[in-house]
């Protein structure tokens, strides 16, 4: 039996359909690209399409500059002169900004609205929006995500969001770091831009997850009516100047909101005729009878037709509900081998309705909440994601991998939940949080990781990676080894988690990723170049983590206006015979110098640019346990050149293109 609310809805639909006259209404513009094709967009400059993702700038040798743009093909009308209404709009997109060479970040990207759809501006600080020789010629409204401090445009810093109108001197800027967002982190960042015409306000939201934050990163009181009267094109642009910053747009949705229903057109009256004709009707009984029969017959037909329409609508919604039930059952059938199924109500109560004060972190899968189960008195961590295709893929990846693995240094999965259009995973709660938070203390009151704990952590991590790479029935390549994904239990033992990016594979096959996944600073050079993940790419990431643990420094740190790469910094000290100076100063020398030296050299050997020279994780574990001799580390960091003379056809760039156009291309990257 259908729920009462659904029956009531059907009844009202039935009544409205039966007795209301059709009303013609104006439609609002909307589109949604979960991935991109060339069917509805135009690419300008250096922009390109690869595997459904837009690249706005290219990886060119420094000091080459780059600029590119992507524009939605169809113009959008924001202003209706007949009703004098300017539509509101809302857009959501996912972007990333990263760099192979962390020392050359700049300049950023922008979302724009403009009457011009064919002009690309200059590179550098002009963000591809305006021409450097004609600063006032282009008309636009843009929200910039700027990654370079340019004094010409009064930029406040090298990491800010700003609103620009016909000028690159922003009306208002905000620093997203205040909400924990680093535009140059290399992570996927979701942005929401909402303009409410009735409120005359534009709001910008940013998040590392797919959940829209409650508070905007920037709010600007502005009336955009005068700037949206023409036919407008929407899109993105980005630029670099002497850097290799890469800008990607992964998905994009847009809609206009606020058009009122069109008024019904009335039949025009002839107002020029001043005469009035009066007709006197004499009642006719027979005529009245015939008219009554016609009315009764018409009413009967209308009721019958409406009844069949009601049955059709009832059948449609019933089929939809049945299809949804079958989808959920099918989805749950894929999870039968996994641990316990939790109810949504149970998890809602345990997390206080997924309250913001219960948030303890964000991962590739989604937001993580602390959950307290009052009935048992236990504490758990709940990872939450919306029920989408991508979410389901990551959800099943994490479940299928974790559920079949058993190791003391893995985060233990307790159960799962698929309800209310959401996907949730329940894990053991790790009271000491993630390794990065322990290493980089936010206050002096936070506990300090002593040397014995640090050694225990790198040994535990090496042990679990050895298990994943060589001791499982199927190899597991994690692909996102970093301190943020290493959790610490009550005894500071390492527990590896966040398998949303992991890949299962047979031992005799090599995984190939169509798009590079992971976190900048931890990615191996060959993975960045070819997108091919192997055990050795995990080894590289492990090496970076080992250096972090020993040095207490992040993989990429800013020193003044310069970005310093941890691997390069430690290798430089090794070259000068001063590697022990890389030790974390917060340890106050409370460590064994030989153990510190061994860990630093082991980290460098794992982070060797040449993947063939990196040890296996089994060898790493043996070295840590003094069961094997350390790997020789060259005094000077190797210089490598990757080149590919393989022909690249259009299918390598645009997956849906039917015509195959082949051109010869050479791509090269140098690692110093």
Cα distance between residue 413 and residue 397, in whole Å: 13
pLDDT category of residue 545 using cuts at 50, 70 and 90: very high
Cα distance between residue 339 and residue 331, in whole Å: 15
Q: Which residues are annotated as a binding site?
A: 383
Cα distance between residue 72 and residue 243, in whole Å: 27
pLDDT in tens, 528-542: 777 788 899 999 999
Measured torsion, CA atoms of residues 120, 121, 127, 133, in degrees rounded to the nearest 10: 180
Residues 483, 379, single domain; the answer is no
> Which helix (H) or strand (E) covers residue 298, if one does?
helix 285-333
- CA 660 from centroid of its chain's CA atoms: 31
Cα distance between residue 54 and residue 64, in whole Å: 20
pLDDT in tens, 123-155: 777 888 877 665 556 789 999 999 888 877 888
In a domain, 604, yes or no: yes
In a domain, 331, yes or no: no
Residues 647, 619, single domain; the answer is no
Q: Which residues are annotated as a binding site for ATP?
A: 383
Cα distance between residue 511 and residue 650, in whole Å: 23
Residues 493, 596, single domain; the answer is yes
For this structure, is 508 an active site residue? no
* pLDDT of 79: 86
Give the total number of structural domains in the chain: 4
Average pLDDT of the chain to the nearest whole number: 77
Asked if 213 and 179 touch (Cβ cutoff 8 Å), the reply is yes
Structure tokens belonging to residue 50? 């690869």
* pLDDT of 596: 96
Top-confidence residue, 667 or 315: 315
8-state DSSP, 280 = P
In degrees and rounded to multiples of 5, residue 105 shows phi and psi of: -70, 150
Structure tokens belonging to residue 671? 């690692």
**pLDDT(36) > 50:** yes
Residues 401, 458, single domain; the answer is no
Residues 632, 645, single domain; the answer is no
In a domain, 649, yes or no: yes
Top-confidence residue, 28 or 395: 28
**pLDDT(199) > 60:** yes
Residues 195, 94, single domain; the answer is yes
* pLDDT of 422: 81
Indicate if the alpha-carbon torsion angle 460, 464, 467, 470 is positive or negative: negative
Asked if 358 and 367 touch (Cβ cutoff 8 Å), the reply is no
Residues 448, 533, single domain; the answer is yes
In degrees and rounded to multiples of 5, residue 435 shows phi and psi of: -60, -40
* pLDDT of 223: 92
3-state helix, strand, coil in the chain (%, to 5): 30, 25, 45
In a domain, 105, yes or no: yes
Residues 6+ apart with CB under 8 A from 418: 328, 331, 332, 335, 341, 387, 424
In a domain, 577, yes or no: yes
* pLDDT of 267: 42
Residues 386, 489, single domain; the answer is no
Top-confidence residue, 329 or 132: 132
Asked if 106 and 238 touch (Cβ cutoff 8 Å), the reply is no
pLDDT category of residue 192 using cuts at 50, 70 and 90: very high
Top-confidence residue, 277 or 250: 250
For residue 391, what is the domain's CATH number?
Answer: 3.30.200.20
Residues 55, 166, single domain; the answer is yes
Cα distance between residue 5 and residue 120, in whole Å: 53
Top-confidence residue, 128 or 366: 128
Domain boundary among 190, 224, 257: 257
- Return the closest-CA partner of residue 121 out of 138, 109, 105: 138
Residues 397, 505, single domain; the answer is no
Residues 6+ apart with CB under 8 A from 560: none
Residues 527, 412, single domain; the answer is no
For residue 561, what is the domain's CATH number?
Answer: 1.10.510.10
User: Which one of the listed residues 107, 150, 155, 480 is annotated catalytic?
Assistant: 480
Pairing state of beta strands 662-663 and 648-649?
Answer: antiparallel
Max mean pLDDT among 147-151, 261-265, 386-390, 665-669 falls in: 147-151
Instruction: Determine the structural domain holding residue 489 and report its residue range.
Output: 435-638
In a domain, 230, yes or no: yes
Residues 532, 415, single domain; the answer is no
In a domain, 90, yes or no: yes
Domain boundary among 399, 428, 457: 428
- Return the closest-CA partner of residue 385 out of 368, 401, 402: 368
Residues 6+ apart with CB under 8 A from 640: 525, 609, 610, 670, 671
**pLDDT(24) > 50:** no
* pLDDT of 300: 60
474 C-beta neighbours (distance < 10 Å), count: 13
Domain boundary among 205, 231, 257: 257
In a domain, 318, yes or no: no
For residue 108, what is the domain's CATH number?
Answer: 2.60.120.200
Q: Which of 12-26, 525-539, 602-616 has the lowest mean pLDDT?
A: 12-26
Residues 6+ apart with CB under 8 A from 465: 478, 481, 496, 538, 539, 542, 617, 620
Rounded percentage of the chain residues whose pLDDT exceeds 90: 34
């Amino acid at each position: 039996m259908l729920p009462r609310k659904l029956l009531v809805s059907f009844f009202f639909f039935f009544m409205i359909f039966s007795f209301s006259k059709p009303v013609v209404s104006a439609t609002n513009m909307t589109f949604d690209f979960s991935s991109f094709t060339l069917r509805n967009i135009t690419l300008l400059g250096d922009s390109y399409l690869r595997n459904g993702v837009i690249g706005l700038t290219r990886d060119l040798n420094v000091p080459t500059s780059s600029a590119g743009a992507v524009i939605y093909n169809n113009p959008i009308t924001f202003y209706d002169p007949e009703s004098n209404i300017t539509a509101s709009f809302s857009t959501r997109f996912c972007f990333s900004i990263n760099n192979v060479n962390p020392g050359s970040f700049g300049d950023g990207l922008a979302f724009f609205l403009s009457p011009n759809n064919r002009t690309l501006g200059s590179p550098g600080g002009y963000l591809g929006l305006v021409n450097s020789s004609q600063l006032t010629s282009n008309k636009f409204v843009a929200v910039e995500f700027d990654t370079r401090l340019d004094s010409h445009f009064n930029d406040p810093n090298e990491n800010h969001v700003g609103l620009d109108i016909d000028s690159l001197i922003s009306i208002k800027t905000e620093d997203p770091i205040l909400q924990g967002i680093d535009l140059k982190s290399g992570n996927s960042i979701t942005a929401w831009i909402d303009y409410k015409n009735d409120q005359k306000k534009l709001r910008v939201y940013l998040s590392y997850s797919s959940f829209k934050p409650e508070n905007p990163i920037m709010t600007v009181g502005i009336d955009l009516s005068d700037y949206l009267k023409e036919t407008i094109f929407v899109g993105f642009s980005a630029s670099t100047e002497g850097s290799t910053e890469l800008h990607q747009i992964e998905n994009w949705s847009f809609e206009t909101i606020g058009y009122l229903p069109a008024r019904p057109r009335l039949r025009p009256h002839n107002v020029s005729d001043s005469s009035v004709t009066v007709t006197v009707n004499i009642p006719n009984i027979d005529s009245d009878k015939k008219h009554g029969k016609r009315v009764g017959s018409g009413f009967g037909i209308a009721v019958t037709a409406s009844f069949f329409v009601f049955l059709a609508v009832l059948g449609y919604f019933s089929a939809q509900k049945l299809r949804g039930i079958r989808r959920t059952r099918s989805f749950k059938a894929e999870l039968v081998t996994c641990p316990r199924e939790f109810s949504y109500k149970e998890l809602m109560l345990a997390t206080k309705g997924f309250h913001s004060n219960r948030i303890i972190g964000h991962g590739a899968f989604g937001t993580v909440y602390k959950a307290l189960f009052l009935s048992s008195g236990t504490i758990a961590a709940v990872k939450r994601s919306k029920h989408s295709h991508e979410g389901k893929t990551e959800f099943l990846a994490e479940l299928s991998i974790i559920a079949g693995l058993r190791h003391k240094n893995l985060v233990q999965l307790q159960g799962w939940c698929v309800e209310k259009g959401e996907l949730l995973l329940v894990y053991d709660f790790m009271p000491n949080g993630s390794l990065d938070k322990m290493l980089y203390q936010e206050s002096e009151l936070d506990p300090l990781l002593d040397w014995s704990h640090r050694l225990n952590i790198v040994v535990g991590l090496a042990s679990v990676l050895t298990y994943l790479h060589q001791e499982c029935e199927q190899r597991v390549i994690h692909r996102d080894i970093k301190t943020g994904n290493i959790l610490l239990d009550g005894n500071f033992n390492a527990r590896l988690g966040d398998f949303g990016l992991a890949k299962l594979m047979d031992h005799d096959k090599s995984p190939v990723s169509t798009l590079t996944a992971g976190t900048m600073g931890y990615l191996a050079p060959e993975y960045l170049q070819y997108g091919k993940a192997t055990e050795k790419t995990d080894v590289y990431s492990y090496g970076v983590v080992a250096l972090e643990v020993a040095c207490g420094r992040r993989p990429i740190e800013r020193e003044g206006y310069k970005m310093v790469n941890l691997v390069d910094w430690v290798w430089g000290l090794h070259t000068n015979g001063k590697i022990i100076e890389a030790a974390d100063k917060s340890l106050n020398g409370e460590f064994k110098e030989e153990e510190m030296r061994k860990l630093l050299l082991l980290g460098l050997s794992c982070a060797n640019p040449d993947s063939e020279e990196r040890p296996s994780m089994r060898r790493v574990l043996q070295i840590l346990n003094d069961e094997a001799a350390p790997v020789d580390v060259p005094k000077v960091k190797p210089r490598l050149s990757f080149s590919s003379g393989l022909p690249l056809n259009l299918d390598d760039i645009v997956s849906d293109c039917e015509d195959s156009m082949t051109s010869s291309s050479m791509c090269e990257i140098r690692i110093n």
